Every structure is written in structure tokens, then in C-alpha cells.
Amino acid sequence: MHVDVPAKVHAIYDEVLRRNPGEEEFHQAVREVLDSLAVVLDRHSEYAEMKTIERICEPERQIIFRVPWQDDRGEVQINRGFRVEFNSALGPYKGGLRFHPSVNLGIVKFLGFEQIFKNALTGMPIGGGKGGSDFDPKGRSDAEVMRFCQSFMTELYRHLGEYTDVPAGDIGVGAREIGYLFGQYKRITNRYESGVLTGKGLGWGGALVRTEATGYGAAFFAEAMMTVRGETFEGKRVVISGSGNVAVYGIEKVHSLGGTVVACSDSSGYVVDEDGIDLEVLKQVKERERGRISDYADRVASAEFVEGGSVWDVPCEVAVPSATQNELDDDAATVLARNGCRYVIEGANMPTTPSAVKVFRDAGVAFAPGKAANAGGVATSALEMQQNASRDRWTFEHSEARLAEIMRDIHTRCHETAEEYGSPGDLVLGANVAGFLQVAEAVHAHGLI
Ligand code: GLU
């Protein structure tokens, strides 16, 4: 069968738009992958015949549910819960839960779609899924968060299982929330099923390095990009946006590799600290006190807080967007490139807009997409599942060495695939094609399901 590939890819995208109206972030994520796949259909006409791409763009299952709970004043609150079980060709659905007021079906679908290819790139046996709620944990007491998590799990538990679907954290979901979710799952099912959630506490089935993994992994990935160019982190000025889990441990690893992170941010603004961000103060402010980034500047003499500004105005050689989707637009990209930025590594999921990616490409900036660079978190979740399944517990050193190896392997795979498919240096194409091929082969092998 002859296939007009560009027209075919276009038609697939048009159908995604038609079938999923208004889901902008999902459209964006699909578009970004489809833009890389013409070269694949050229070589694999069987994927066109069997509509493999079309099937991967359609989630296997989408669950939307009501989450009622009572706040500390006794007022009834209603939130909406989601779990999109996108693709199970490579293993049980795996992906985080996000609790943030911006969460809607389109956001969960974009994240779930990205997760399929990210998880494939790790080389671990995990499918792709994502979930969450428009619940806003900010300003809520521990008791309110617990009641919310219990109500959320009272519906979700029936869809989960260590061989079915294994959630973890994402924005707004950390060890505290995973604890409450696990407790309720155990209570309802009467099973101590460690492998049903990852990101658990270290004392009850959690894995060492899981907390640090996404940030550490992004730094290892950046290091691999530098090695190819005969460079290291030594002496490099780095800016990391955000101040959550990814940013904090990204800063920690960049510092240990010889770079200096001079700025980070939250939704209120950013801090610049020419001496390098003091990690202990940052952890105290953001992790223990759940405070604002301005509190950091109040405590560190060399730091300055800039309210409301863009952290990308701070000159750097390496930028690591680690806050949220579409946080870095083409204006910010132009400023970064003009200021001499040479590496951009996505620590968050899809933080760079498509037009910003184009600015970086045109300026010759080395760019790493999140589905490759931030895969360290979910890869270490798979290591947690592995430890749970064997009732084992690995040391920090062993786990970190595994993570470093996985990140280097992902980089090599993306780099080599880009070369093989005629776009040397294009890690976006390399990640999309390598991730897609791995999933597509399994989808194909399982027949028309
Ligand atoms: N939420 C993380 C991600 O975006 C981790 C998911 C997981 O560990 O399952 O990949």
C-alpha cells in the first residue's frame, strides 16, 4: 500500500483535534510527537496499515469521578478526579497524580500521552498513564489533605493494582499525599500491596533516591549532552525554574557536578543568588515550611527577590525549566539565547512552548525534551516496584548508580536515533522516534486490541 506520509500524519492530527475539542495541551503534545513520525512511517508501512499511531493517540481508558470532602470548617467541597490509562503495551499504566487547580482532562491527557514515550525510553516495563484533581493543596491543613486523599482513593482504588495501574506523585502530590492514599487503599482492599503506588515513605516500602530522582536524572542527562561536546558542568552558570522537588534536587546534583545554580523561582517571582543557591535554606523554606521563595531572600544576604519577574532574564549558560507546562515562551527563549545560553534541559513536562523550541533550534542551543531528560523520576519508580516485588531494599549508592546509567542510556538512545533518522543532534526527534518505536512494536505484537 502506498502511503502519502505527510498527508497521513496531518489527517491523524486533524482527527485528534476533532475528537478532543478544547484540549489545547493535549493537542500540543500530540503535535510535537507527530511532527517527528513521518520518518518512521516512511520505513514502517505496517504502522500506517494497522493505524498504530491512531491507536496510541486514543487512551485505552479514561476515568473521571466526583471527589466530595469536608474542609476544617465543616463546609462541603467538591472536586473532580481523573485517571487516564493511556497505554499498557509495555507494562501496567504508570504515571503520577497531579493536584493543582489547573488540572482538567486535557492537561491529564497531555501528561499521560507524554508519559507513554517517556516510560518507554527508560527501558523499564511500564505503560503510560496520568491522573490528578483540580484540588488545590495550597493553604490546606494536613487533616484536609488527608480527607481529600481518602475520598479520592475511595473511588480510584477499584482501577488500581500492581499489575494494572501504579500511580505516584507529581505537582502537589508528595510523600504526605502518597501516604494517605496508600493508607486508604490498604484499608479498602485489605491488602498490603506495596507495588500499587510509588514514591512511598522510606520506612514503609519506599525506595532510596526516588525523591531526588527527577532532579538528579535531569542533571545526569545534561552531563551526557555536555560529554558529547567535550564539556562538563565545571564552572557553568545555571538557572533552574521552580523550587519544588525537581528544582531542589536538580540544584543539589548540578552543584555536586561543579556547576553553580544562581536562580530559582516559584509562582510569586524568583531569587538570584550570585553565590549559588544555598540548598539547606531552600529546603528549609520550601520542603519543611511549605513557604514562599521570597522567604529565601529574607534569610540569605547575597540573595535578591524579584517579584513577578521572569527567571529567564537571569543570564546563564544552562537553563533547566522545572516548574510547569509552557512556562518558557519564545520571548524568554530569545532573551536566554541572546544572553549566551547554550543548553536547555526540560526538568518539567513540556515547559517550553513550540515556538520557544524553534528559537532554540535556530540559535543552535542544545535542547533536551522532558520525556527524555526528566525520565529519571519514573525510572526510579520502576526501581521501587522492582524492590517491592523482590521484597528487597537497595542502598543509596546502588540506586543512584542505576539512575545515572539509565539516564546515560536514554541520552545515547536519543542521540543515536536522531542520527539514524537523518537529524543529528535533534534530541526531540530522537526521543520521539525511539520512544514511539518501542511502544509501536509492542502494540503491533499484541494484535488489534
Ligand atoms: N510524575 C512523574 C513524571 O512526570 C513521575 C511519575 C511516576 O513516578 O510514576 O514522570
Q: State the distance from the centre of ligand 1 to the C-alpha of 169, rounded, in angstroms.
A: 6
Q: How far is the CA of 93 from the centre of ligand 1 (A)?
A: 11
For the CA of 380, the nearest atom of ligand 1: 8
- Among 94, 109, 130, 253, which one carries the catalytic annotation? 130
**Residue of 381, 386, 387, 407 to mutate, ligand 1, most atoms within 8 A of C-beta:** 381
Atom of ligand 1 nearest to the CA of 95: 9
Q: Please provide the DSSP assignment of 364-397 as one string.
A: T-EEE-HHHHTTHHHHHHHHHHHHHHTT----HH
Q: Do 195 and 122 contact (CB within 8 A), yes or no?
A: no
Reported as type and span, the H/E element at residue 338 is: helix 330-338
Which pLDDT score is estimated for 295? 96
Q: How far is the CA of 375 from the centre of ligand 1 (A)?
A: 8
Q: Give bridge partners of residue 447 from the DSSP assignment.
A: none
Its CATH architecture, for the domain 213-368, is: 3-Layer(aba) Sandwich (3.40)
As given in the structure block, the three cell numbers for residue 444 are 503491533
User: How many CB atoms neighbour CB 252 within 10 A?
Assistant: 19
213-368 has the same fold as 61-192 = yes
Place of cell 543509596: 396
pLDDT the model gives residue 6? 83
Q: How far apart, in whole angstroms, are the C-alpha atoms of residue 216 and residue 266?
A: 20
Q: How far is the CA of 381 from the centre of ligand 1 (A)?
A: 8
From the number of C-beta atoms within 10 Å of its C-beta (0-12, 13-18, 19+), residue 190 rates as exposed
Which atom of ligand 1 is nearest to 375's Cα? 10
Catalytic annotation present for 130:
yes
Q: Do 372 and 431 meet the contact criterion of CB atoms below 8 Å apart? A: yes
What separation in Å is there between the alpha carbon of 47 and the centre of ligand 1?
Answer: 28
The residue contributing the CA closest to ligand 1 atom 9 is 95
Angle, CA 125 vertex, CA 124 and CA 128 arms, to 5°: 100
Residues with CB under 6 A from ligand 1: 94-96, 118, 168, 170, 198, 349, 377-378, 381
- Nearest-CA residue for atom 8 of ligand 1: 378
pLDDT at 1: 54
Q: 168 CA distance to ligand 1 centroid (A)?
A: 6
Boundaries of every domain in the chain: 61-192, 213-368
Q: Provide the Cα torsion 92, 96, 345, 101; round to 10°.
A: 150
DSSP summary character for residue 285: I
Mutate to test the pocket of ligand 1, among 108, 115, 322 (most ligand atoms within 8 A of CB): 115
* Rounded mean pLDDT for each run of 10 residues along the chain, 449 residues in total: 79 97 98 96 94 98 98 98 98 98 98 98 98 97 98 98 98 97 98 98 98 98 98 98 97 98 97 98 94 96 97 98 98 98 98 98 98 98 98 98 98 98 98 98 96
pTM of whole model > 0.75? yes
Nearest CA to ligand 1 atom 5: 378
For domain 61-192, give the fold.
Rossmann fold (3.40.50)
Angle formed by the axes of helices 376-389 and 213-228, nearest 10°: 120
* pLDDT score recorded for residue 146: 98
